[in-house]
Amino acid sequence: MLRRLLEGLRGRRSLNYGYGLGGCRMLAYVLMPIVVLSLAGCAAGTLGSAVKAYPGAERPASEVSIIQCGFSLAIAAIDENKSLSGDSTACSYSLLPGRHVFRVSIAKKEFGLYPGTYRQQGDQVVEYDLVAGKTYSLHAFEDEKSPGLWRINMIDPVVDRFVTLKEVRLVGAKAGG
């Protein structure tokens, strides 16, 4: 459908300002990921709820902690339970408060000329204390000034900031992005 729309715009100077179809095509490449991510975010907010990942009866939200996958990171296991895994599109677990061990893998999505996903070889292990009634999210960010250096961060609502849990230098990591 988008292709037909773009083909129909060929030669219409009022929409592409005389720059040919390339300007519209570039606009489509820029807008498409934004639209897709927005729709995924809406779906995750309405369809996804935290999966119960603790023993015993269901508890109220004020008695559990929520952990979610964030940007560029996939959870391979929580407290060595490999059934508790997921990536940024599907990952939300309710856990009992306290210290938890997260086995994570850096997974960076690339857009543009060379789309795809870069995934780290092996896993990283990080630990964190979760507080009841709070929602946390794990993220991985590549350092802009030092390509290949990644920081695994937790967004902690108690201190209201990113907390760096680990820095990882990935050998052979794809630079930039």
Q: Are 102 and 61 in contact (CB under 8 A)?
A: no
Q: How far, in Å, CA of 34 to CA of 13, rounded?
A: 26
pLDDT along the chain (177 residues), means of 10: 47 43 47 40 50 95 94 92 86 96 84 64 90 95 88 94 91 48
**Residue that has been written with the tokens 């990952």 in this structure:** 91
pLDDT of residue 49: 87
Number of helices (H), then strands (E), belonging to the chain: the values are 3, 10
Q: How far, in Å, CA of 98 to CA of 88, rounded?
A: 23
Q: Is-above-0.85 flag for pTM?
A: no
21 Cβ partners below 8 Å, 6+ apart?
6, 9, 10
pLDDT of residue 148: 82
> Which of 83, 92, 87 lies closest to 135, judged by CA?
92
pLDDT of residue 112: 66
